[in-house]
Homo-oligomer: A and B are copies of this chain.
């Protein structure tokens, strides 16, 4: 473990807060962004933990994020809310819009929230998990930068376009998944590049459209979607519903806006919440219990629930802390020099 350094979660938080404050983020943004970085380390999602401090610092230095943006909530329809993040990080916009979304979902049965004009680098699972802990079924979608080629094509046009889902489980952690519609998250390829490791075939193609195991070549060429034309269709859907549908950029527009700065994606996010109590009335508890039989049927045959590993990590890191690569920590500490 000589190449790893142990940090408590409090130390992770302090590190995030110090770096983000030093780079000029307002206090409310420091808190909201640090929450997601701590959540990433806590759940051992290395690609969305303190590594992202390097990404934040770069994005801020490139002038691509509004440091003290105050998001504005617009109540636009009985079951729709939009939050204009005013060019700031998405986390604070979500935090301010979430109670409005939840209230609308409870009143109407289903509701949707569009986050607009925000800078995005975080995972979506903290958001759907939070809504599911409030008893709601939740979906989240966001485009990113045009890094991924459509099935049958060679040129990047989609983002890694994650889809996340949360389902409330009485007495248990929510059922949550969050996956990129690219074969892997871009952060995974970036970590391979940093560590000089080859990537498996199927993750990306080079600039000429040829399959490659070179992480740097795939980052310069195009990533591929998961699941062939089906993943490509889902990725298209996410471009549409978290782009034009909410009046925000596609991944191609986001990367054009970036203009080579290699900052975090700028654009929108769509979140949908459904209140099971409105669909089910007094039978909600009974039907949620039937969902538990499904989870038992999956886990009982040795198949993993997608959130399981994260929740196990969470239980462990609460007391043990986390082990982060020494080189990564040094790179982050150098941001403070």
Q: Given A79-B79, A288-B244, A294-B157, does the pair A237, B301 have CB atoms closer than 8 Å?
A: no
A57-81 vs B, Cβ < 8 Å mask (1 yes, 0 no): 0000000000000000000111110
Q: Tell me the bound Cα distance from A232 to B294 in angstroms.
A: 13
Once the chains bind, are A110 and B245 in contact (CB under 8 Å)? Answer: no
Q: Is A199 an interface residue (CB 8 A)?
A: no
Q: Given A152-B303, A279-B82, does the pair A294, B227 have CB atoms closer than 8 Å?
A: no
Among A10-18, A22-30, A41-49, A270-278, the stretch that binds chain B is: A270-278
Number of copies of this kind of chain in the complex: 2
CB within 8 Å of B: which A207-232 residues: 226-232
User: 5 closest pairs, A vs B, by CB?
Assistant: A227-B227, A77-B109, A80-B109, A153-B303, A79-B108
A125 to chain B, nearest CB (A): 12
Q: Is A32 an interface residue (CB 8 A)?
A: no
Besides A157-B297, A244-B291, A252-B297, 19 new A-B residue pairs in contact (Cβ under 8 A), listed by A number: A77-B278, A78-B79, A80-B278, A112-B274, A114-B279, A137-B241, A137-B245, A149-B301, A153-B298, A155-B297, A227-B228, A227-B230, A236-B306, A239-B294, A243-B290, A244-B276, A245-B276, A245-B287, A250-B293
The chain B residue sitting closest to A246, CB to CB, is B279
Q: Tell me the bound Cα distance from A73 to B197 in angstroms.
A: 58
Q: Tell me the bound Cα distance from A165 to B240 in angstroms.
A: 11
A227 to chain B, nearest CB (A): 3
Q: Is A87 an interface residue (CB 8 A)?
A: no
Q: Is A150 an interface residue (CB 8 A)?
A: yes
Q: Tell me the bound Cα distance from A280 to B111 in angstroms.
A: 16
Most chain B CB atoms below 10 A, which of A152, A279, A301: A279
Once the chains bind, are B291 and A240 in contact (CB under 8 Å)? Answer: yes
A81 to chain B, nearest CB (A): 9
The chain B residue sitting closest to A290, CB to CB, is B244
Q: Tell me the bound Cα distance from A179 to B229 in angstroms.
A: 10
Q: Is A175 an interface residue (CB 8 A)?
A: yes
CB within 8 Å of B: which A122-181 residues: 137, 149-155, 157, 165, 167, 175, 177, 179
Q: Tell me the bound Cα distance from A230 to B306 in angstroms.
A: 9
